[in-house]
Amino acid sequence: MSVMYKKILFAFIILGLSGGHVMAQNAQPPARVEVARATIKNLAPLVTVPGTVISRNDSRIAAEVAGRVVWIAEVGDEVAEGDIIARIDDREWRLQLRETEARVKQLEASQKFLGQEVQRFEELASTNNTPRRSLEQAISQRDMTEQDLIQARVALERTQYNLSRTEIRAPFPGRVVERLVQVGEYPSPGTELARLVDTVHIEVRAQVPLSIAPFLVSGLSVQLESNGRAVLSPIRAMIPVGDEVTRTMQVRVELTDPSWIIGTAVKVGFPSAEPKRVVTVPRDALVLRADNTYVFKVNGEIAERVAVRTGAASGNDIEVLGPIADGDMVVIRGAERLREGQTVALASTT
């Protein structure tokens, strides 16, 4: 076999392989993708500030009476409003209660007797059978006993109140997250016993620049992000008192989902200007590369790669700057595997 013949044969083999590759490539089925429409929306540029998930009720519960702690809830216990979270030894208060009850009964008996005495002296005085002085003395003793009885009843009520305070109850539902005393210790009134945190009623606290305050109002939905999780939540309250050093003010954002852990760091996006009408696409339409950001626009059944720049965002919608118009179909699933000019089959349209 001559050298020339071998070269011709080799060329035919190469051409055959290339042609087979092209035919195989053309024979590939269309890529199945999901698409959505680009839409025009009112969006504002955002400034992102750090925030923290906090509880709206976080208290250190204190003792109201002195005494030895005989029981206290365990760390992690969940309690409802009004549940007991600690008990103080109440023996001394029970003894005092019995004493004041006896004092009240004694004075009630004296009051009844003196009332009868006054009635008897009044009858005698009406017939001039007793000096007026005796009647006045009986009335005075009766009135003094009535005042003593009032004081005794107040003392009884105070004792009952102090006895009830030997059971320290939760002022709101929550979890015991810290024990500050142990069983057997003797706290005085005002001593902190346990820390109780409401894990259901939570919100985000953030410090925002005073320069964006004109664009914020209560009820405005803002974007919260943490560990790949993103939600929109309304501003609950703005505290219109700025810090002289940082030139920021505090904003509270509602959280209705109690699964957020208190203390979680959150990024909060607040509007920094008035909203404007822009073209937006779902975030899933963006294909991020080190050198560029682009989306795939579907024209008929052909995918066209379009380079874009991003702008303002709200929830799952993000502004795109580039050759994308309102109503254009963009790929939101399957774009990572697409090539320029590849044929696609639409799975769904949103």
**149, part of any domain:** yes
**141, part of any domain:** yes
Both 240 and 175 in a single domain? no
Among the listed residues 63, 155, 150, the one whose alpha carbon sits nearest the alpha carbon of residue 100: 155
Both 33 and 146 in a single domain? no
Over residues 251-283, the pLDDT tens digits come to 999 998 989 999 999 999 999 888 889 999 998
Both 176 and 82 in a single domain? yes
Give the total number of structural domains in the chain. Answer: 4
Query: What angle is formed at CA 175 by the lines to CA 173 and CA 178, rounded to 5 degrees?
Result: 135
Among 271, 295, 329, residue at a domain's last position: 271
pLDDT given for residue 194 in this prediction: 97
CATH at residue 171: 2.40.50.100
Q: pTM for this structure? A: 0.69
Among 152, 177, 197, residue at a domain's last position: 197
Classify residue 205 by burial, with Cβ atoms within 10 Å: 0-12, 13-18, 19+: middle
Both 318 and 328 in a single domain? yes
**21, part of any domain:** no
Instruction: Identify the band that residue 32 occupies on the pLDDT scale cut at 50, 70 and 90.
Output: confident
Domain that holds residue 265: 46-56+201-271
User: Average pLDDT, stretch 237-242?
Assistant: 93
Among 252, 271, 290, residue at a domain's last position: 271
Both 186 and 70 in a single domain? yes
**337, part of any domain:** yes
Both 219 and 192 in a single domain? no
Both 256 and 281 in a single domain? no
Over residues 285-304, the pLDDT tens digits come to 899 887 889 899 998 888 89
**180, part of any domain:** yes
More confidently predicted of 299 and 172: 172
Both 283 and 341 in a single domain? yes
Q: Flag the least confident range among 5-19, 309-323, 332-346.
A: 5-19
User: Average pLDDT, stretch 44-62?
Assistant: 94
Both 84 and 170 in a single domain? yes
**10, part of any domain:** no
Both 213 and 267 in a single domain? yes
Classify residue 332 by burial, with Cβ atoms within 10 Å: 0-12, 13-18, 19+: buried
Both 210 and 319 in a single domain? no
d(CA 204, CA 191): 30
**18, part of any domain:** no
Residue 162: CB atoms within 10 A of its CB come to: 20
pLDDT given for residue 19 in this prediction: 47
**20, part of any domain:** no
CB 283 within 8 A of CB 308: no
Sort residue 247 into left (φ over 0), alpha (ψ -120 to 50) or beta: left
Both 118 and 174 in a single domain? no
